[in-house]
Amino acid sequence: MSRTRSTPIAVVIVSVLVVSAVAGAPAAVAQDGPPPTPAAYFGDVTIDGEPAPEGVEVTAYVDGELRGSLTTTQTGSYSGPSAFDQKLVA
């Protein structure tokens, strides 16, 4: 007799678990989308109006927080427009 009573209770428990799992799935998957792509910079760099020498560190700050840095490898410029050139990412 106890077996007959426990079957409906087991069905209710399993049903509640399945509904909970399915209802919770969209919340776990929902996102605002991928994070934004950071800005990538390259260009000319001067010190006191003169082209900066090789080995100068160029840094990027956003709202007072250091976001990126790189060291120049050419006089007067850092990075380049090519997809393979290292960029200052901030």
| Model pLDDT for residues 14-23, shown as the tens digit of each residue | 666 666 666 6
What is the bridge-based pairing of β-strands 77-78 and 43-44? antiparallel
In this prediction, residue 37 carries a pLDDT of 86
Per-residue pLDDT band at 61 (split at 50, 70, 90): very high
58 domain-assigned: yes
> Which residues fall within 8 angstroms of residue 65, CB to CB, at 6 or more apart?
none
Residues 73, 76, 79: CA angle, nearest 5 degrees: 50
Does residue 23 sit in the same domain as residue 60?
no
Query: Residue 84 pLDDT > 80, yes or no?
Result: yes
Q: What is the rounded CA–CA span in Å between residue 73 and residue 76?
A: 9
CB 76 within 8 A of CB 57: no
Q: Judge whether 50 lies within some domain.
A: yes
Strands 65-71 and 46-47: unpaired
Q: What is the pLDDT of residue 7?
A: 67
Helix (H) or strand (E) holding 11: helix 2-29
Tens of pLDDT, residues 22-42: 666 555 555 788 988 888 999
Give residue 49's domain range.
40-89
Asked whether the whole model's pTM tops 0.85, one would answer no
- Pair (46, 82) in one structural domain: yes
On the question of pLDDT at 89 being above 70, the answer is: yes
